[in-house]
Structure 1
Amino acid sequence: MERIDQRLSEELTGQVTRAVRETLRAELSEAVRESARKRKRTAALYAGAAAAALYAGAAVALALGLVIALGLPDWAAALIVAAVLGAAAYALRRAARPKRPAVPEAAPPMPSEPPATGTP
């Protein structure tokens, strides 16, 4: 009788364990799917914002070039706008780089004893 009770208890424990694992897997996969859906939407919105900002920047550069072209030749206006945009890109790149710690210049090591001459 004890064997049957023990066997039924083990079988029931195994079934409950499997049921709990399956339920947890289903819940976890649903939570992961929902999180991925939200992140995908956020990424798409950021991509759209970046594209709009790119076009806005191009429009500002064009407007600046047209304003400068009122007083200068077209090629000079384009050159000035290109130089300004290049300087802005360089400044942004320098700001994005991590700061390197200053490395002090090391003096060559000084021997603590005079070198041996090799003859006694």
Structure 2
Amino acid sequence: MIVRHLPDAEQSNRKIVDPQGNWDSTRMLLKSDGMGFSFHITTIYTGADFQMHYQNHLESVYCISGEGEIESLEDGKVYSIKPGTMYALDKHDKHVLRAFSEMKMACVFNPPLIGNEVHNAEGAYELSADAI
């Protein structure tokens, strides 16, 4: 059994801060935990407005708190995000995420992250040889 506490993880190397200043992500489960997915609590900072395109990962996101929106760059549709909203990037969807207020998000990635990833120029996480 794996048991972790968010406040402890936030004070460790499991907390990764976006070099661009849009988010931080505390990685509660990683590839090394052997679950087949990774689980993160991510904070999207107020005013963040950035593009992502997870070409190597599928992601599911559940909004715990805060408000914002996600825009699909494939069809231009914009979806409101508020507490209780879930979205899944099941087709490696290219998208823009906007935070009107600080958003706390629970995120699941498949394949799992190894822990130190930040977005590349395309807005994706690289697929490390360790993640295969």
TM-score range, shorter chain: under 0.3
Greater fraction of residues in strand: 2
TM-score by length of 2: 0.16
Highest relative contact order (Cα 8 Å, sep 6+), 1 or 2? 2
TM-score by length of 1: 0.17
Greater fraction of residues in helix: 1
